[in-house]
Structure 1
Amino acid sequence: METPPGLMDSAAILRTRATTDDIHRDFMAGKLVRIRRGFYVPASDWIRALPSERFAWSTAAVSRSVPGAVLCMETAAWANGVPTLPTPACVELATTMPGRSGTRRPSLLVLSGDQQAKEIRNKRSYPLRYHLRESIEPTSQGEFQCTGLVQTALDMMFSAKLSQALVMADGVARKLKDQGVLPPGSRLRDLDSVAAATRLHRR
């Protein structure tokens, strides 16, 4: 999925030999929201944005700033263009390190005490959550590295609410059919179909 316009990446700006003085000045004045260190969005854009757009900015900031970031669960589904129900609550990454699993505190920050800043703080931010995995086999989806379609569907089927799992499973099934991995009429709601798809997908 594409990241909406508006995300400011300080490191990318510095690589062009341009200055980030204006960004830091506007952030100190409360005109910018800092999603993660080095990543900013205009405060007015953050307020007007849809939840899916704020989530997209947050996911891009995490993906660009966390070395070796591999999206998983609903976040991987989002990156693959699979419907989620509703917008994910966290940016989810896979990890093989037990000590890293769990949810981090939200990193969203706006420096102001005015009404706009209060409105920003009242809107949902998207903290980072690590999910422990025995192994990770990432696939590329645009600028993102994420778990594969089949693995993502399996993860959700065994851990998410039924309504979330079914919406995602149907979306994954459609994509796998388009890729020729699943024959017409197969459904990922059927665990036998999931197992078959997994074997085919890994050949």
Structure 2
Amino acid sequence: MKPTLAAIAIAFITLLAGTQVASADAWKHSVEFKYAKSSSIRIVEPEGLKVVVEGREDTVPAVFKFANQANYYRVQVTAKDGKTWTKKIEVKAHRETVLRVSYTPKGKAPQTQDKKVQTFIGKARNTCRRKVALRFEFKLGADKKATVSLVPRQTKDVELPAGSYKVRVYNATTRSKKWNYLKTFDLSVKSDGWSFAPSC
């Protein structure tokens, strides 16, 4: 039985599409904006690659801060095989631009990406006025998602996935640095702007 013209055409198109996919490097990127005190670009993927933003070099993951105003900045990511991706990325006032980049080398099939976990930025605060340092361990189920150490009256930004946390609190004098367990608190993270500041 001879193949029909339609079958031949479909086979040719499939072969051509496969050849085009295999013959080109594939770069993809996604951008999201999160509230922040000032403008910045946070590159979170792919880890370990070199990134240069307006002449400043670092390794992913990395954060680059800028004047608190709307603008576009040139970002260049270099893959391990030397191939580069360059694009102007938008920043906004009072927003952090979260940039994710993916790279599929020539001749390789794209890898299936895991579902992205949404994270939210909040503040951890040590309200103690005396010489008492605090340490917070943020646990989501059995996983420890972050550990933050704070001197008296210090505040730090912390980025956490959404969820219901158990936060273990330790204290230490600023001289001894020996951590003593105090108490475990509940914390719900649902959006940016969450805060954890237990009384001293």
The answer to which structure has the higher helix fraction is 1
* TM-score (normalised: structure 1): 0.26
Higher strand share: 2
Larger Rg belongs to:
2
**TM-score, structure 2 normalization:** 0.27
